[in-house]
Amino acid sequence: MRTQSHLRIGDQPWVKWSLITLALTLVFLLLLVPLIAIFVQAFSGGVSSYWQNLTDRYTLHAIGLTLFVAALTVPINLVFGVFLAWLVTRFEFPGRKLLITLIDIPFAVSPVVAGLLYLLLYGANGWIGSRLMDQDVQLMFAWPGILMVTVFVTCPFVARELIPLMQQQGREEEEAGVTLGASGWQLFRRVTLPNIQWALLYGVVLTNARAVGEFGAVSVVSGNIRGETNTLPLHVELLYQDYNTVGAFTSASLLAGIALLTLFVKSFVEWRQARQRAALSEDEA
């Protein structure tokens, strides 16, 4: 039986309800209203103007470039992330702990700083860049530069998702596979991958979302050439500066759409992961 004296802070109805109201109001004002505003602004000139802005030659190119960069970034970081997670969870070696810490550097460093570092290294006056310039290789202010910084900024996502899971799962199953004579590739495809597939997908979704939306680092190395090095987030800013509000919000609505899609996929994957975890703990029990 609960009595009045056992009530904790927050159990009183007025406290509970005012906290809930406060949280909902904040969510509504800070998250939902801006999201709705994007679409309201984008369609403020009507559907035809939305379509016209969407099919503008430079907007189409920005969409293409953004997808192109994301499509290269995701597989690169997928391979990198799996390899790294496998390395630090399956082997003991000196510097392992340090490596796990180093993975997080891109999270700790501001993207603008990351962009500047690449620019200082690979730009015309940079240590590597000046040599490349002599070979007529242009990395900065061209799509390879955009790809480089995007890979940098998004590289921890996959590894960060996999490491805790792979640590939890341990290496028994893989060791069993090895004793049964599985080759390295068979081991990965039949044992490791099925175990980590949902965490992997989760990492991929996050990587993709960030790769599509990255502004700071890309803005430093892009050079802002329309129809050439202008990604979708940069395009939004450019249109806004250019007094084309409807155009800016049209492009922003695409990014918001991708974000919503990401959220949807993310919750689905989380739900699958939770099921997998439940199954795992049942097996152990």
Residue 255 backbone phi and psi in degrees, to 5: -65, -40
Nearest to other proteins of 64, 170 (CB atom): 64
CB of 276 to other proteins, least distance (A): 14
Instruction: State in angstroms the smallest separation of the CB of 73 from other proteins.
Output: 11
Q: By CB under 8 A, tell whether 140 contacts other proteins.
A: yes
If binding is defined by CB under 8 A, does position 241 make contact with other proteins? yes
Q: Does residue 46 bind other proteins (CB under 8 A)? A: no
Of the candidate residues 119, 159, 165, 269, the single one contacting other proteins (CB under 8 A)? 119
DSSP SS3 for 280: helix
List 42, 69, 162, 211, residue binding other proteins (CB under 8 A): 69
| C-alpha to C-alpha distance for 92 and 86, rounded to whole angstroms | 11
Q: Is 81 in the site for other proteins (CB under 8 A)?
A: no
Using N-to-C axis directions, what is the helix angle for 245-284 and 57-90, rounded to 10°?
20
- Residues 200, 276: contact at Cβ < 8 Å? no
Kindly provide the b/e burial profile for residues 140-178, where b requires at least 16 CB atoms within 10 angstroms of the residue's own CB: bbbbebbbbbbbbbbbbbbbbbbbebbeebebeebeebe
User: Of the two residues 91 and 243, which places its CB atom closer to other proteins in the complex?
Assistant: 243
The residue written with tokens 């991929």 in the block is: 204
Could you tell me the two tokens for 213?
């939306």
> Which residue among 61, 160, 166, 253 contacts other proteins (CB under 8 A)?
61
Is residue 138 involved in binding other proteins (CB under 8 A)?
Answer: yes
Among 68, 100, 128, 266, binds other proteins (CB under 8 A): 68
Burial of 211 from C-beta contacts in 10 A (0-12 / 13-18 / 19+): buried
CA angle 118, 111, 132 (to 5 degrees): 10
Query: What minimum distance in Å lies between the beta carbon of 10 and other proteins?
Result: 38
Integer Cα distance of 236 and 214 in angstroms: 12
Asked if 151 is part of the footprint of other proteins (rule: CB under 8 A), the reply reads no
Among 195, 197, 273, 276, binds other proteins (CB under 8 A): 197
**Binding segment (CB under 8 A) for other proteins, from list 2-10, 72-80, 82-90, 170-178:** 72-80
Total residues interacting with other proteins, rule: CB under 8 A = 39
For residue 186 the two structure tokens come to 């068979």
If one asks whether residue 226 binds other proteins (CB under 8 A), the answer comes out as: yes
Residues in touch with other proteins (CB under 8 A)? 60-61, 63-65, 67-72, 74-75, 119, 123-126, 129, 133, 138, 140-141, 143, 189, 193, 197, 223-228, 238, 240-243, 245
